[in-house]
Amino acid sequence: MAEDFYSETKDLVKFLDVADEHTYSSVIDSFYLLEDTQLAKHEFENTDFINESFGRLYLMFHGVLNSCYMQQQALLVICQKLGIDQNIKEIKEIEVVAYRNDFSAHSPNRGRGKSEHSYILDRHAMREAKVKGYTANHETGFIFREANIYSLISSWDIVLERQLQLVAERVLNSKT
């Protein structure tokens, strides 16, 4: 049984045209993460924000922003492992991840020392499908940010789809 698994894995390493089983596993794990987070985004997009509790809205907004961040990271791993360097700057600078970093990062404050600041998410704006809030403790002063969550996700999905097309072309071309 274990021999079959290793034999199949070696065949898949050849199929993906990657260096070794570790690289193959990184790519496959990233594809699984893309699938799981896409399911989360789909669930989010089918939500009636008006009738949700604020607690549930916080969970959903933080969750979908983190899902986009996780997709970004998975896509960067796939591209790095498969040697795809097109559009990397655009992927790294995608706006939805900037909003995630401000509003849903794993810290109440971003930065260090004087540059440390935090954003407060406007709970009422979530009912309008907006990521909206401010920081009053940024070294440059008061900063306000606002975006429609659907626009942020849609912009990311365009970049994601275009990059996945490059991934598909890379895999298909490695077989010719």
Question: In this structure, which long-range contacts are made by residues 125-130, counting pairs with CB atoms below 8 Å and at least 24 apart in sequence?
Answer: 126/49, 126/54, 126/57, 126/58, 126/61, 127/49, 127/50, 127/52, 127/57, 128/49, 129/49
| pTM for the model | 0.86
Render pLDDT for 101-123 as a digit per residue (tens, 0 to 9). 888 765 666 666 666 667 778 99
Render pLDDT for 57-103 as a digit per residue (tens, 0 to 9). 999 999 999 999 999 999 999 999 999 999 999 999 999 999 998 88
Rounded distance between C-alpha atoms, residue 160 and residue 158, angstroms: 5
